[in-house]
């Protein structure tokens, strides 16, 4: 947050104008708009979420991630039948000028992908935890879920990450 | 220790590669490989590509972005690169500057598109100070409301790349290969390419731009030049590059599809 305030004021001094979607807070505001974090999900430090229901785990990127990335214009996801491994990339999202890797919080077999994202990539922005889900995986090692963060831990993680910057 | 060495103490190391006229496909291949397999910070300056080449972003669709009949007729190479963003035509008048950094390389910088874009604009504000009305307009570098630098990024778990193609000079006929994109910055206001862009050579000497860029980089990093031969021997030739040169067949298929869809829409 501190760097963004510094960057914004310095940018103004140097007559640099930023995109309207830049995450710049008023210099002396004490309030912050927090991204949503849902109960019942587990979270990775790379800002993906997992919802484990029975033998299937659904994966997407968090509200924090989509907010920081900006408008998603293209999504790259694997075909069903492929495998993902914990901590490694399985796809990417493009947000105007940037591609950003999406990493799987767990290992397993991809059993379903969200085909709506090819025509409506913006679902990741408007509904990151529901309609914007990316892949469904059959976990190969369910104990990997235990090492992920819960909602409170992830909320604190995001606050600390934003405060450090 | 000299004064300049003293100043560099504590700054992270950045290796500097200076090329002249290296083909853009080779540059993009090297960049992606360094992004994904290196743990060091890099700055690549390629002063001019060689032959005119069209470079689309990762999701670029030739039929939507290019005047394919002309592209095919003139046998212009078309590349789909690994970073996001729009379409450019590059040639010997284009100067490329690329930063590849660990996510902690710039203290306090969050590895997301807008913070990286803002940071880069502050660096280039130093470069262009006194040479023109420079600003970051949405995601472009511009003098006034004329674009001269296009940006794109790729962000991985622990690293990021920000690269820019600077329009030192350009051939008007090359811009004619590009359609007006459906997605354009607001400040473009539907201007066609030649009204929207400007030439850097009208603002500053080419060598001055490169020298000032390196000096600006030195305010953030301890810069160490690296020779190209040393670079080549370090590269893994089996790396699966995402950047691809489209085949003539792919372009012809896109052109056919485009004609078919146009004919279909006319008949309805």
Min distance A56 CA to chain B CA atoms (Å): 25
The pLDDT assigned to B261 comes to: 78
The total number of structural domains that make up chain A? 1
Asked whether the beta carbons of residue A16 and residue B108 sit closer than 8 angstroms, the reply is: no
What burial class does residue A106 get, using C-beta atoms within 10 Å of its C-beta: 0-12 exposed, 13-18 middle, 19+ buried? buried
Please tell me the pTM assigned to this model: 0.88
In a domain, A25, yes or no: no
Is the CB of residue B110 less than 8 Å away from at least one CB of chain A? yes
Over range B156-180, report the average pLDDT.
Answer: 93
The C-alpha atoms of residue A40 and residue A52 are separated, in whole angstroms, by 9
Q: Which of B234, B193, B246 is nearest to B81 (CA)?
A: B246
The C-alpha atoms of residue B228 and residue B111 are separated, in whole angstroms, by 28
Residue B6: pLDDT band (50, 70, 90) is low
Strand B41-47 versus strand B13-20 pairing type: parallel
Q: pLDDT at residue B4 above 50?
A: yes
The pLDDT assigned to A30 comes to: 35
In a domain, A35, yes or no: no
Q: Is B70:B121 a contact under the CB 8 Å cutoff? A: no
The pLDDT assigned to B147 comes to: 95
Q: pLDDT at residue A14 above 80?
A: no
Q: What are the beta bridge partners of residue B119? A: none
Domain residue ranges in chain B: 3-267
Q: pLDDT at residue B176 above 80?
A: yes
What 3-state class would DSSP assign to B14?
strand
The pLDDT assigned to B236 comes to: 61
What 3-state class would DSSP assign to B92?
coil
Structure confidence by residue, pLDDT tens digits, B199-242: 999 999 999 999 999 999 999 999 999 986 545 645 666 788 99
- Residue to mutate among B84, B120, B163, B186, with most A CBs inside 10 A, is B84
More confident residue, A31 or A59: A59
The C-alpha atoms of residue B233 and residue B246 are separated, in whole angstroms, by 27
Q: Nearest CB to B110: which of A15, A96, A165?
A: A165
Q: pLDDT at residue A9 above 80?
A: no
The pLDDT assigned to A22 comes to: 38
Contacts of residue B248, Cβ cutoff 8 Å, sequence gap at least 6:
B72
Please report the DSSP string for chain A in residue order: -HHHHHHHHHHHHTT----TT-----TT-----PPP--TT-EE-TTSEEEEEETTEEEEEE-HHHHHHH-S--EEE-PPTT-EE-TTSEEEEEEETTEEEEEE-SS-EEEEEE-THHHH-TTHHHH-TTTTT--EEEEES-GGGGGGSB-HHHHHHHHHHHHHT-
Q: pLDDT at residue A16 above 50?
A: no
The pLDDT assigned to A25 comes to: 37
Asked whether the beta carbons of residue A98 and residue B153 sit closer than 8 angstroms, the reply is: yes
Over range A33-58, report the average pLDDT.
Answer: 92
Structural domain containing residue A139 = 44-164
Structure confidence by residue, pLDDT tens digits, B98-137: 999 999 999 999 999 999 999 999 999 999 999 999 999 9
The pLDDT assigned to B8 comes to: 57
Span of A3-12, A113-122, B58-67 with lowest mean pLDDT: A3-12
Q: pLDDT at residue A131 above 90?
A: yes
Q: Architecture of B3-267 per CATH?
A: 2-Layer Sandwich (3.30)
Q: pLDDT at residue A120 above 70?
A: yes
The C-alpha atoms of residue B182 and residue B175 are separated, in whole angstroms, by 16
Asked whether the beta carbons of residue A98 and residue B155 sit closer than 8 angstroms, the reply is: yes
Which residues on A lie below 8 Å from B117 (Cβ)?
18-19, 97
DSSP state of B36: H
Which residues on A lie below 8 Å from B85 (Cβ)?
96-98
Contacts of residue A92, Cβ cutoff 8 Å, sequence gap at least 6:
A75, A76, A99, A100, A101, A102, B58
Q: What is the ipTM of this complex?
A: 0.88
Q: Which of A159, A147, A151 is nearest to A39 (CA)?
A: A151
Over range A61-78, report the average pLDDT.
Answer: 96
Is the CB of residue B181 less than 8 Å away from at least one CB of chain A? no
Q: Which of B165, B237, B239, B217 is nearest to B15 (CA)?
A: B217
Q: pLDDT at residue A23 above 60?
A: no
Q: Which of B186, B111, B124 is nearest to B153 (CA)?
A: B111
Which residues on A lie below 8 Å from B125 (Cβ)?
14, 16
The pLDDT assigned to B118 comes to: 96
Q: pLDDT at residue A39 above 70?
A: yes
State percent of chain B over pLDDT 70.
93
When mean pLDDT is compared over A4-18, B145-159, B236-250, the highest value belongs to B145-159
Q: Is A154:A37 a contact under the CB 8 Å cutoff? A: yes
Q: pLDDT at residue B193 above 90?
A: no
* CATH number (domain holding residue A107): 2.40.50.100
Q: Is A41:A129 a contact under the CB 8 Å cutoff? A: yes
The distance from CA A21 to its chain's CA centroid, rounded to whole angstroms, is 17
| Residue A155, both tokens | 């909320």
Min distance A130 CA to chain B CA atoms (Å): 23
Task: Count contacts between A and B (CB, < 8 Å).
Answer: 120
Over range A136-144, report the average pLDDT.
Answer: 96
Residue with tokens 């056919």: B256
Q: Cα–Cα–Cα angle for B81, B87, B89, nearest 5°? A: 95
Q: What is the mean pLDDT of chain B?
A: 91
Span of A7-16, A64-73, B121-130, B207-216 with lowest mean pLDDT: A7-16
In a domain, A52, yes or no: yes
């Amino acid at each position: 947050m501190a760097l963004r305030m510094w960057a914004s004021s310095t940018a103004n001094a140097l007559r640099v104008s930023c995109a309207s979607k830049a995450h710049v807070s008023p210099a002396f505001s004490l309030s912050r708009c927090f991204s949503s974090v849902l109960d019942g999900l587990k979270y990775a430090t790379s800002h993906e979420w997992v919802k484990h229901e029975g033998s299937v785990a659904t994966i997407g990127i968090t509200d924090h991630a989509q907010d920081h990335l900006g408008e998603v214009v293209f999504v790259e996801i694997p075909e069903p039948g492929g495998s993902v491994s914990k901590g490694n990339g399985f796809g990417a999202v493009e947000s105007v000028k940037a591609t950003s890797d999406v990493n799987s919080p767990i290992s397993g077999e991809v059993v379903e992908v969200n085909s709506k994202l090819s025509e409506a990539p913006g679902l990741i922005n408007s509904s990151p935890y529901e309609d914007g889900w990316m892949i469904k995986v059959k976990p190969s090692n369910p104990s990997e879920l235990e090492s992920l963060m819960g909602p409170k831990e992830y909320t604190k993680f995001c606050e600390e990450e934003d405060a450090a910057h | 220790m000299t004064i300049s060495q003293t100043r560099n103490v504590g700054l992270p190391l950045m290796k500097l590669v200076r090329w002249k006229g290296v083909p853009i496909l080779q540059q993009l291949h090297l960049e992606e490989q360094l992004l994904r397999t290196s743990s060091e910070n890099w700055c690549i300056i390629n002063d001019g590509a060689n032959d005119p080449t069209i470079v689309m972003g990762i999701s670029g669709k030739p039929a939507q972005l290019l005047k394919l009949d002309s592209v095919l007729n003139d046998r212009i190479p078309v590349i789909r690169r690994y970073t996001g963003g729009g379409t450019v035509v590059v040639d010997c008048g284009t100067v490329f500057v690329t930063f590849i950094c660990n996510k902690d390389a710039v203290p306090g910088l969050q590895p997301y598109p807008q913070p990286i874009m803002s940071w880069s604009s502050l660096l280039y504000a130093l470069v262009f100070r006194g040479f023109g009305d420079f600003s970051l307009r949405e995601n472009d570098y511009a003098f006034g409301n004329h674009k001269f630098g296009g940006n794109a990024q790729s962000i991985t778990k622990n690293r990021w790349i920000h690269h820019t193609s600077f329009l030192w000079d350009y051939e008007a006929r090359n811009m004619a290969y590009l359609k007006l994109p459906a997605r354009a910055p607001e400040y473009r206001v539907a201007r066609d390419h030649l009204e929207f862009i400007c030439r850097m050579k009208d603002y500053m000497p080419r060598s001055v731009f490169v020298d000032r860029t390196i000096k600006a980089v030195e305010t953030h990093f301890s810069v160490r030049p690296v020779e190209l031969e040393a670079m080549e021997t370090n590269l893994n030739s089996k790396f699966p590059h995402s950047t691809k040169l489209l085949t003539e067949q792919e372009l012809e298929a896109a052109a056919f599809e485009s004609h078919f869809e146009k004919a279909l829409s006319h008949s309805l």
